Amino acid sequence: MKFSILAKLFSNLENTSKRLEMIDMLAEFFQDIKNEDHFEDLNKIMYLLQGHLVSNIKQFKKMGVAEKMIIEALSLHAGIGKKKIKNILVKEGDIGATAEILLTKKKKQKSLFDFGEKSNSEIESIDIAELYSQLRKIAKTEGEGSQDSKLGILRGLMSKISPLETKYLLRIITNTLRVGVSTQTIIDGLALGFTGEKETNRDIIEKAYNLHPDLGDITTLLAKKGLEEVKNVKITYKIPIRMMLASRVPYSEIITRLGTPCIAEYKLDGERLQIHKKGNNITLFSRRLLNITEQYPDVCQVIRQNVTAQNVIFEGEVVAMDPFYEKMRPFQVLSKRRRKYDVKEMTQEVPVCLFVFDLLMLDDIQYINKKLPERRKILEKIIKEKDELKLVKSKRIHSTDELLEFFHEARNEGTEGIIAKSIKEDSVYQAGNRGFLWIKLKGLEGGKLKDSIDVVLVGAFYGKGRRTGVYGTYIGAVYDKENDQFLAFTRIASGWTDEIMESLMEEINNYKQNQKPKGVICEDKPDEWFSPAMVIEIFGDEITISEKFSTLGYSLRFPVFQRVRYDKGIKDITTKAEIIQLYNAQ
The catalytic residues are 267
The amino acid at 437: L
Check residue 325 and report its DSSP letter: S
Check residue 308 and report its DSSP letter: -
Collapsed DSSP state (helix, strand, coil) of residue 33:
helix
Distance CA 411, CA 409 (A): 6
Torsion of CA 101, 513, 51, 20, to 10 degrees: -90
Helix axes 183-190 and 215-225, enclosed angle (nearest 10): 0
Distance CA 171, CA 178 (A): 8
b/e burial code for range 447-469 (CB count within 10 A of at least 16 → b):
eebbbbbbbbbbbbbebeeebee
What are the Cα distances from residue 5, in Å, to 100, 182, 430? 16, 20, 37
Q: Return the beta strands (E) in 204-343 as ranges.
A: 245-247, 262-267, 271-278, 281-285, 311-320
**Other CB atoms within 10 Å distance of the CB of residue 149:** 15
Distance CA 436, CA 439 (A): 6
Cis peptide before 261 (omega within 30 of 0): yes
- β-partners of residue 355 are 317, 390
Residues 60 and 132: beta-carbon distance below 8 Å:
no
DSSP assignment of 189-242: HHIIIIIS--TTHHHHHHHHHHHS--HHHHHHHHHHH-HHHHHT---BTTBPPP
CA angle (62 as vertex; 61, 67 as ends), nearest 5: 165
What are the Cα distances from residue 579, in Å, to 150, 245, 257, 569, 573? 45, 16, 19, 18, 11
What are the Cα distances from residue 338, in Å, to 62, 293, 353? 19, 11, 16
